[in-house]
């Protein structure tokens, strides 16, 4: 049996180093030594999550408990997972339920050492961020599976790509780790994990494109064939729609189920000429003249019944998985399935036709265009170059690392935000600050919201857990020694906060540096 203290020690070791190789080695050593029933919970914890999801424990409950810590480590991974199961099973509210939760939590923390207790409080409070992001965990699982096979006397090299594909198609890292670490033939078992209708998969992501001309040159075929499609880039909410018979379910880009909030999408999907289908697309709120409303209204519109869906990919149709088929094939199937709900675009355009498609998208009120390689497969969960966003100006999705109190007219409000990009080691690196583009509503929201993410503060600044994603518009990037990232943003301004994105989806430092003037 594995002690919780061993997991806590590995977590602390990961947090203490910036070396991706060292992080991976530490995690792999721990994972390889776990018992089969310990793999799923320990993997989840190291990624800062719990198998149980929400347990009903809030900061008020955590702060109300005054444990007497244990002097030595005795809690096992199984003990803690069982306690979290009991906490999650205590549904409802009220004095009785709250008292039972507090008693269960108090008993758990009394059995924990001080280090273990701090780890559990951070885990339950949603602030366990030690740099073990998905990419590092995927590499660690692969390395651990290879180590575990050595212990049986028959070394099997488990490639990270096999783990990555299984995770992206299943959407469940703990389950993927369990398959990799507890089966006799992990490579075969991982490859057997495929798309499953009614189980969401990670959405494919796009990279910023330098320009339309550059995107066409990069993605076009070597023989001059313009092997791309240029589509409208809608300023809406990403959706993934599954249908099996009359059953329809819809998920957001973060794989949160939103079926009950989009009855119009459910009704439309039930009318499609298929028995089973998995669709990728966007839905947005529209004004009376048919033009799109702002992104925030599309996000708020989920549940209003006033949304219009558009689809740009088909990943499965009537028993046939399409993720490994080229986009050209997937798009042909998509057109047959969704008809006029196919997102506007032009296939294999000339340069003039591509330029007109971009102009048409902007004239329709969209935020830009997507340029996609027609020979690309669907790389679930990956941000690759085969899909590129082309906009009138550069935008980046960055993470808020801190915020300063304002002065002058902004005195009393949290104003100037510290911006971070994802480094190669999984940590977030500061690359700039800005307060431009902030309306009074944004300042008010920041002041009300940011203290919930605070880790510590000084006289001028609140430092935050790296969880809040903000879309930043900028004129370019230049080399600078002012910030740890070695670059500075030119004329950065806030476009909006992205509640639909997680920090793991923020742009990387490599992407930011690619925009240097």
Active site residue ranges:
233
Element (H, E) at 243: strand 237-244
- The Cα 368–Cα 395 span in angstroms is 11
Q: DSSP labels for 87-133?
A: HHH--S-SHHHHHHHHHHHHHHHHTS-HHHHHHHHHHHTT---SS--
- The Cα 138–Cα 9 span in angstroms is 20
Contact 325, 282 (CB under 8 A): no
- The Cα 515–Cα 512 span in angstroms is 6
Provide φ and ψ at 122, rounded to 5°: -65, -40
Residue 448, C-beta contacts closer than 8 angstroms, at least 6 positions apart: none
Helix (H, G, I), strand (E, B) or coil at 17: coil
Contact 1, 117 (CB under 8 A): no
Burial of 508 (0-12, 13-18, 19+ CB in 10 A): middle
Residue 383 forms beta bridges with which residues? 205
- The Cα 209–Cα 392 span in angstroms is 11
- The Cα 455–Cα 470 span in angstroms is 19
Contact 243, 270 (CB under 8 A): yes
CA-based radius of gyration for the chain: 24
Element (H, E) at 365: none
Helical pair 173-182 and 20-32, crossing angle rounded to 10 deg: 60
CA dihedral 499, 505, 511, 512 (to 10 degrees): 40
For the chain, report the end-to-end CA distance as a whole number of angstroms: 55
> How many distinct helices (H) and strands (E) make up the chain?
18, 19
Q: Which two tokens stand for residue 331?
A: 């798009």
């Amino acid at each position: 049996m594995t002690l919780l203290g061993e997991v806590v020690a590995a977590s602390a070791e990961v947090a203490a180093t910036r070396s991706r190789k060292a992080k991976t080695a530490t995690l792999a050593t721990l994972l390889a030594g776990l018992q089969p029933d310990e793999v799923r919970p320990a993997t989840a914890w190291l990624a800062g999550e719990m198998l149980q999801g929400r347990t009903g424990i809030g900061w008020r409950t955590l702060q109300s408990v005054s444990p007497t810590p244990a002097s030595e480590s005795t809690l096992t991974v199984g003990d803690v997972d069982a306690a979290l199961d009991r906490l999650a099973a205590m549904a409802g509210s009220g004095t009785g339920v709250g008292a039972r939760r507090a008693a269960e939590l108090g008993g758990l923390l009394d059995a924990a050492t001080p280090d273990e207790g701090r780890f559990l409080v951070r885990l339950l409070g949603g602030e366990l961020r030690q740099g073990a992001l998905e990419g590092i965990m995927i590499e660690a699982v692969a390395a651990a599976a290879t180590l575990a096979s050595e212990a049986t006397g028959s070394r099997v090299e488990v490639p990270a790509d096999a783990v990555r594909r299984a995770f992206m198609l299943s959407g469940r890292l703990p389950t993927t780790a369990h398959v990799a670490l507890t089966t006799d033939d992990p490579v075969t078992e991982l490859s057997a994990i495929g798309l499953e209708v009614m189980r969401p998969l990670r959405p494919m992501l796009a990279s910023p494109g330098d320009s339309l001309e550059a995107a066409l040159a990069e993605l076009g075929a070597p023989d001059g064939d313009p092997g791309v499609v240029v589509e409208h880039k809608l300023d809406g909410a990403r959706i993934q729609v599954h249908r099996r018979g009359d059953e329809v379910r819809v998920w957001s880009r973060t794989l949160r189920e939103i079926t009950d909030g989009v009855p119009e999408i459910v009704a439309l999907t039930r009318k499609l000429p298929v028995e089973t289908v998995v669709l990728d697309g966007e839905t947005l709120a529209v004004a009376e003249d048919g033009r799109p409303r702002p992104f925030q209204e599309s996000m708020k519109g989920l549940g209003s019944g006033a949304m219009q869906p558009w689809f740009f990919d088909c990943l499965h149709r009537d028993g046939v998985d399409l993720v490994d088929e080229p986009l050209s094939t997937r798009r042909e199937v998509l057109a047959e399935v969704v008809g006029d709900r196919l997102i506007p675009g032009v296939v294999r355009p000339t340069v003039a036709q591509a330029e007109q498609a971009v102009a048409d998208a902007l004239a329709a009120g969209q935020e830009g265009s997507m340029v996609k390689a027609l020979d690309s497969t669907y790389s679930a969960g990956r941000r690759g170059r085969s899909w590129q966003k082309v906009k009138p100006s550069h935008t980046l999705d960055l993470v808020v690392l801190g915020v300063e109190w304002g002065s002058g007219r902004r005195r009393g409000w949290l104003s100037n935000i510290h911006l971070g990009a994802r480094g190669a080691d999984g940590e977030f690196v500061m690359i700039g600050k800005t307060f431009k583009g902030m309306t009074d509503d944004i300042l008010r929201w920041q002041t009300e919201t940011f203290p919930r993410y605070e880790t510590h503060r000084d006289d001028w600044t609140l430092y935050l857990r790296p969880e809040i994603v903000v879309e930043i518009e900028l004129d370019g990037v230049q080399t600078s020694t002012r910030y740890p990232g070695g670059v500075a943003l030119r004329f950065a301004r806030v476009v909006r906060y992205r509640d639909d994105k997680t920090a793991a989806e923020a742009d990387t430092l490599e992407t930011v540096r690619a925009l240097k003037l």
